Chains A and B, each alone.
Chain A
Amino acid sequence: MLELVIISALNGILYGLLLFLMASGLTVVFSMLGVLNFAHAGFYMLGAFFGFQISKWFGFWWALLLAPVVVGLIGAAVERFALRDIHRSGHVAELLFTFGLAYVIEEVVQIIWGKDPVDYRGPSSLDFPAFSIFSTNYPSYKVFMFAISVAIFVALLIVIKRSRIGLVVQASLTHPQMVAHLGHNVGLVFTLVFGVGIGLAALAGVIAGPILQTQSNMAASLIALLFAIVVVGGLGSLAGAFVASLLIGLIQTFAVSLDGSLASLFGPLSPNAPQFLIRNIWTVTIAQVAPIIPYALLILVLILRPMGLFGTRET
C-alpha cells in the first residue's frame, strides 16, 4: 500500500510537471494575447512526433534540442501570419481558428505517422532503473524527466523575474495595452512569447512521448484538461498554473490507482433498494469519477471565482 502511494505520488508529480510545461505556455499566451489556443495540445503532439522522428534519425539528444525549436518556430509563424489578423475579428473567430487548427494538426500527424502508436523510445543511455521503491523499479528516464521539468521551471522563473524581456512579459500579463503605449515592440514580444509557449509544449511532448503513448489522439484528450488547469490556476499567474498542474496531476494519478466505490466500502446494494440509476452511483469508482474532477473544478471556479485561485486578472 505504501509502495502504491509513493509510486503514485511520484508519478502524479511528474505528470503535474509535464502538464505545467504545457499549461505555462498556454496561460502566458492567454494572458498576453487573450487567445485561448485550442491547438496548444496539438503542438505538444507535434513535439512528441518530431521528437520521435528526429530521434530515429539522429538520436534522442538531438531530438531534445531540435524538436522544440522547430515546433516553436512553426508556432511563431502561425501567430505572425494567421492569428494576428484573426485577432482583429474577435475572440470567437480566434477560438474557431485554433479549433480548426487543432483538427488539422491531428489529421496531418495521422497522414504522416499513421494512426497507431509509434515506437518512440527514450535514450538507451537512460535505460536502467534509478532506484527501487520496495519491489518496483523506478526508471531513470523518469528521474531525467523530473530534472528537465524542474530545470525549465527554474529557468522560466529566472527569465521572467530577472531579465528585461521578462519584465515586459510580466507587465504584458496584466497591462498589455500600457506596455504597447510605452513603445515596446509588442508585436515582436507577442510572437516571441507565443513561439516560446509552443516550444515549451513541444518540449513536454518530446520528453513525455516515450513514457505516455505517442499516438495521434494524444492532443484531443489533453486540451480540455489544459484549459481546466489554466482557468483554475488563474490567468496571469504562472504560480497558479504550477499549483493547478500539480494538483490535477496528483488527483488524476491517485484516483486511477486508488480504486474504490461506495459498493466496495459498504457492500452491494440490497435488492430491495431502487435500482435504476442508484446502482450506477453506488458502484461508480473513484477512477471513473476522477476525470470529471478537473472539469467540475473548472465550472466551480468560473462561477465562484472567475479569476482563478491565484489570478490577478479577470478573463
Chain B
Amino acid sequence: MGKIVLAVLLILMSLSGFALAQESVRIAYIDTLSGGGASVGVARLKAFQFLAEDVNAKGGILGKKLEIVPFDNKTNAQESVIQAQKAIDSGIRFITQGNGSSVAVALTEFVLKHNERNPGQEVLYFNYSSIDPILTNAKCNFWHFAWDANSDVKMEAITNYIKATPAIKKVYLINQDYSYGKSVRAAAREMLAAKRPDITIVGDELHPMLKVTDFSPYVAKIRASGADAVISGNWGQDLALLLKAAGSSGLDVNWYTYYGVATAGIPISLKQVNLDHKVFGVTEGIANVDYAPSREFEKRWRAKYGEDFVLFAPRQVNEIKMFAAAAEKAKSFEPIKIAFALENMEIDVFNGGKGVMRKDDHQFFQPLYVASFGELKASEPFDEEGTGWGNTVAAKIEANDTLTKTSCKMTRPQ
C-alpha cells in the first residue's frame, strides 16, 4: 500500500500545472514558509501580497501587475540559494527576504556571484528584515538593499534616546551569546561611552541562545546590580521568558530592546506579568503613530486579519513603495537601472517623514520610534493581541540622528 501511496503522490504532483509567467513584474519572496519560524514568514508574505494588491488596484507599476511569488527556504541558507536559482530560472529578477541573517549573507553572496558570472541577467536582492551590520559593511554589494535599520542603526537610535534621558544612570546589558548578540553589546558599549560617559555599565551578560528556560537567576543578577535600565537585543523565547521572569519577580527597571514591540507573543506575556510601559522597543513605526494615512492602513489591515496576530512591518510598505517609485523613475524594470534609481532615493515613509536609501552602503535611513507597551490613552486606538494594551511612542528619533558610519566599498557597474 505504501508503494501505491507513493505512486499516487508522484502522479498528483506531475498533474499539477506550473505557474506561467504572465504580464506582471514578479518579486520572489524567499523565506520560511514551513517548519519552526514559519508563522513570521507566512505573515510577512501575506503583508507583501496585501501591498501588491493595493499597488495593482491603483493600476500596477508601469502598467504591469505586481506579483509576489513565494518560495520556501525552510530557514536554510543552502535551500535559499536553490530557491533563488529556481526563481531566476523562471525569469524573476527581484528577490526579497528577511528572516535569518545566515540566509541573508548566503543570498547576498549568491546574488553577487550570479551577477558577476551572468552579465545581462542580473538580479537584485531586497533585504527587508535582516539586521546583521555585515550586510552593509564588509559584505555589502551593489545589488543588495536593506530596508530595516540594521543592528548598529537601532543602537544609535536607542542610545540617542538614552542620551536625552538623564534619569538613566546604571545600565545592564544582557544578550544572546552569538554573533548578533555580541554585536549588539559591542555597539551598546561603544555608543554609550561616546554619548553618556557618566553612565556606568553595571552588568554585561551573554547567555546561551534559545536554551535558557528560567531567567530568574539572570533577573536576580540584574536586581543585585542596582541597574535602572537594561539593554537587550534578545528575540523570540529569549525575550519572552526574560521579560516574564522579570515581571513575575517584580523587578522594576526599564527595558530597552530591539524586539520588545511588534513581536508576536510579547504583548500577551507583558500583560500577563503587568509590565506597564516598562518595555521599550525601537522600530520604524507602530500602529499608534499620529499619522492619518498609516492609521487608515492599520484599520484596513486589522479589518482583514482581526485579532490573530498577523503582523506587517512598515519597512515592507517602504520597500514596495520605493520599488514602484524606482521603476517609475527609471521607466524600466531592468535591475541595473532600478538599482541606480534606488540609490539616494528619498520617499515619504509609511508613518510620516522622509527616508533615504544611502548610496554608500544601500542602507535605508528613516525616522525611528522608541515605543513602549502599556495602557493606552484615548487618542490611541490600536491595542495589541486583544490585550487592551498597546504601543505608545516615547520618542521619535529623526533619520539624521540614526546615521552610522559604514566601511562599505562596493564596485558599481558602469
Contact = CB atoms under 8 A, between A and B. Distances in A.
B216 A216 contact: no
A288 B177 CA distance: 9
B217 A7 contact: yes
Contacts of B223: 135-136
Interface stretch (B8-16, B33-41, B139-147, B370-378): B33-41
A123 interface: no
B7 interface: no
Interface residues of A, number: 34
Given A4-B220, A115-B39, A137-B248, A285 B265 contact: no
A245 B207 CA distance: 23
A213 B211 CA distance: 11
Given A116-B265, A121-B272, A136-B216, A287 B207 contact: yes
B217 A115 contact: no
B57 to A, nearest CB: 30
Contact of A137 (B206, B241, B250): B250
B262 to A, nearest CB: 14
A136 B39 contact: no
Given A115-B36, A121-B272, A259-B206, A136 B219 contact: yes
B213 A212 contact: yes
Interface of A: 3-4, 7-8, 11, 15, 110, 114-117, 119, 121, 129, 134-137, 139, 211-213, 215-217, 253, 256-257, 259, 285, 287-288, 290-291
A137 B249 contact: yes
Given A115-B36, A115-B37, A256-B207, A213 B213 contact: yes
A254 to B, nearest CB: 9
Interface string B311-340: 000000000000000000000000000000
A8 B218 CA distance: 10
Interface residues of B, number: 32
Interface in B222-269: 223-224, 237, 240-241, 248-250, 264-265, 268
Contacts of B214: 11, 211, 253
B250 A117 contact: no
B208 A117 contact: no
Contacts of A259: 205-207
B177 to A, nearest CB: 7
Contacts of A135: 220, 223-224, 249
Which 9 pairs across A and B sit closest by C-beta, in order of nearness?
A: A257-B217, A287-B208, A212-B213, A116-B39, A115-B39, A136-B220, A115-B38, A213-B237, A11-B214
Contacts of B218: 257
Contacts of B219: 136
A121 B268 CA distance: 11
